[in-house]
Chain A
Amino acid sequence: MATGIRDKVAILGMGCTSFGERWNMGSEELMVEAFTEALADAGIERKDIGAAWLGAALDDVNVGNSALPLAFALRLPPIPVTRVENMCATGTEALRAATYAVASGACDIALALGVEKLKDTGYGGLPLRTKGLANDLWMPYGSAPGSFAQLAGAYARRHGIAAGDLKRAMAHVSWKSHQNGALNPKAHLRKPVAMDTILNAPLIADPLGLFDCCGVSDGAACAIVTTPDIARGLGKTDIVTVKAIQLSASNGWESQHGAWDGSYVRNTREASRRAYAEAGLNDPRAQLGLTEVHDCFSITELVTMEDLGLSDEGRAPFDILDGKFDREGELPCQIDGGLKCFGHPVGASGLRMAYEVYSQLLGRAGARQRGTVDFGLTHNLGGAPFNSVAAVSILGRLG
Chain B
Amino acid sequence: MATKSIKGPNSVKGLGAYLPLLRLDRQAAAKALRWSGLGGPRNGRRAVAAFDEDALTVAVEAARIAVRKSGPIAKVVLATTSSPFTERAQAGLLIDALHLPAETRCLDVAGSRRAGVSALLDALLAGDGGDTLIAAGENRPGQAGNALHLAWGDGGAAALVGPGDGARLIGHASLAHDLLDVYASPAHPTPYQSEERFIRDTAVAAVLVPAIGAALEAAAVEAAEIAAAVVHEPVSGCYKAVAAALGLKVPNLAEAVTEAAGDLGTAHVLFALGLALETAKTGDRILLAGFGSGCDALVLEVTGPVAGAGAAAAALAQGLGFADYVRFLSLSGALSLDWGPRSELEQKTSASVLERYGRDFTGFIGGRDAGGNTQFPKTRLPVAPDVEAGPMTDVRLADETGTVVSITADRLNYCPDPPFYFGLIQFPGGARVLMEVTDIAAAPPAVGDALTMRFRVKSADRRRGFRTYFWKAAPVARPQLEA
Contacts and interface: CB of A to CB of B under 8 A. Distances in A.
A302 to B, nearest CB: 15
A146 B408 contact: yes
Contact of B406 (A125, A134, A143, A151): A151
Contacts of B353: 133-134, 137
30 contacts: A125-B412, A130-B345, A130-B346, A133-B349, A136-B468, A137-B459, A137-B470, A138-B377, A140-B434, A141-B345, A141-B420, A143-B410, A144-B412, A146-B412, A146-B422, A149-B410, A150-B406, A152-B408, A153-B407, A154-B406, A205-B410, A206-B419, A252-B383, A255-B424, A256-B376, A256-B432, A257-B383, A257-B385, A257-B431, A386-B434
A204 B408 CA distance: 10
B357 A139 contact: no
A153 B470 contact: no
Contacts, number: 134
Residue among B346, B414, B420 facing the most chain A CB atoms (10 A cut-off) = B420
Nearest to A131: B347
B47 to A, nearest CB: 25
Contacts of A387: 434
Interface in A288-339: none
A387 B422 CA distance: 14
Nearest to A149: B408
Contact of B432 (A124, A145, A255): A255
B463 interface: no
A141 B470 CA distance: 13
Given A128-B342, A141-B413, A386-B406, 11 more contacts: A133-B350, A134-B353, A137-B353, A137-B354, A137-B468, A142-B408, A143-B410, A146-B413, A150-B424, A154-B447, A206-B409
B408 A153 contact: yes
A142 B435 CA distance: 10
B446 interface: yes
Contact of B411 (A123, A152, A204, A255): A204
B357 to A, nearest CB: 6
A160 interface: no
B31 interface: no
A157 B432 contact: no
A233 interface: no
Contacts of A200: none
B375 A257 contact: yes
Contacts of B407: 150, 153
Given A130-B347, A133-B353, A142 B405 contact: no
Nearest to A387: B434
B428 interface: no
Residue among B356, B383, B405, B408 facing the most chain A CB atoms (10 A cut-off) = B408
Contacts of B361: 137-138
A168 to B, nearest CB: 19
Contacts of B385: 253, 257
Interface string B375-412: 11100000111000000000000000000011111111
A140 B458 CA distance: 8
Interface of A: 121-125, 127-128, 130, 133-134, 136-147, 149-154, 157, 203-206, 251-253, 255-258, 260-262, 386-387
A142 B411 CA distance: 10
Contacts of B350: 133
A137 B456 CA distance: 12
B191 interface: no
A136 B423 contact: no
A154 B405 contact: yes
Interface string B24-63: 0000000000000000000000000000000000000000
Nearest to B364: A138
B358 interface: yes
Contacts of A256: 375-376, 383, 431-433
B383 A251 contact: yes
Would you list the 7 A-B pairs with minimal beta carbon distance, nearest first?
A146-B410, A150-B406, A262-B406, A149-B408, A143-B412, A143-B413, A140-B422
A205 B412 contact: yes
Contact of A205 (B377, B409, B436): B409
A121 B297 CA distance: 60
Given A139-B434, A143-B412, A251-B383, A128 B345 contact: yes
Contacts of A258: 432
Contacts of B434: 139-140, 142, 255, 386-387
Given A137-B468, A138-B361, A153 B410 contact: no
A131 to B, nearest CB: 10
B373 interface: yes
A331 to B, nearest CB: 28
B129 interface: no
Contacts of B71: none
Given A133-B353, A137-B458, A153-B446, A261 B405 contact: yes
A257 B435 CA distance: 14
Contacts of A130: 345-347
Residue among B384, B424, B470 facing the most chain A CB atoms (10 A cut-off) = B424
A154 B424 CA distance: 11
Contacts of B186: none
Nearest to A208: B408
A255 B448 CA distance: 16
A262 B356 CA distance: 31
Contacts of A123: 341-342
Contacts of B458: 137-138
A141 B412 CA distance: 11
A258 B375 CA distance: 10
B8 interface: no
Interface string B326-367: 000000000000000110011101100110111001000000
Contact of A134 (B356, B375, B383): B356
B422 A157 contact: no
Contacts of B373: 257
Contacts of A206: 408-409, 411, 419, 444
Contacts of A154: 405-406, 447
A145 B377 CA distance: 25
Contacts of B412: 124-125, 143-146, 204-205
B372 interface: no
Contacts of B414: 128, 141
Contacts of A121: 341
